[in-house]
Amino acid sequence: MSHLTTAVSADDHALGPDDAPVTLVEYGDYECPYCGEAYPVLKAVQHALGKQLRFVFRNFPLTDAHPHAGRAAEFAEAAASVGQFWAAHDMLYEHQDALDDESLIAYGRVLGIDDAALQAGFDGRFDPKIRHDFTSGVRSGVNGTPCLFINGERYDGPRDVDALVAVIRSAAKARA
């Protein structure tokens, strides 16, 4: 069992209340097909649990296997710089089959991200954040994506909505 070595902080991308009884951290890669499969499941889990859950996403682009993953992470961080991280996150997973530069630029326009912010991302402005996320994952034992941590403990169990909701509700009760 691995533990999350880097605590969730204000630098993370998080949805849900900071004082939620359960924090679910995902290390993900926007081009990973398994992350793509997990995306609607995690959305459903968030919906089912509401304020009981804080969901955190950290970048873990596996660029050797997924050539567009690094650029997609840069896009997401550029979007974050203008308050559009979650819209970008969703768009990337919903259009996982088109993550080339031309598509990312088009997504940026749809989201209202100006070209300068996007270009800054592509020029490496957010690489330290992406590296920090990645390194925190490596230190926590992440070796593939998606990798989930529930209240700081790695979760390798079933990844369907019902199983995750049950495990998270159990973790919430343990905190009560």
Q: Which pLDDT score, from 0 to 100, does residue 1 have?
A: 55
Q: Which pLDDT score, from 0 to 100, does residue 176 have?
A: 73
| This prediction's pTM | 0.97
CB-based contact 45:164 (threshold 8 Å): yes
The residue whose two tokens read 């080339």 is: 100
The residue whose two tokens read 């590296």 is: 131
Q: Which pLDDT score, from 0 to 100, does residue 9 have?
A: 97
For the chain, 176 residues long, the average pLDDT of each consecutive 10-residue run is 91 97 98 98 98 98 97 98 97 98 97 93 97 98 97 96 97 88
Q: Which pLDDT score, from 0 to 100, does residue 39 have?
A: 98
> How far apart, in whole angstroms, are the C-alpha atoms of residue 130 and residue 156?
24
Half-sphere exposure of 12 (CA within 13 A, CB side): 22
Q: Which pLDDT score, from 0 to 100, does residue 175 have?
A: 83
* Domain range annotation of the chain: 20-175
Q: How far apart are the first and last CA of the chain?
A: 23
Token pair for 101: 């530069």
The residue whose two tokens read 């031309």 is: 102
Contacts of 45 (CB under 8 A, 6+ apart): 24, 53, 161, 164, 165, 168
CATH architecture of 20-175: 3-Layer(aba) Sandwich (3.40)
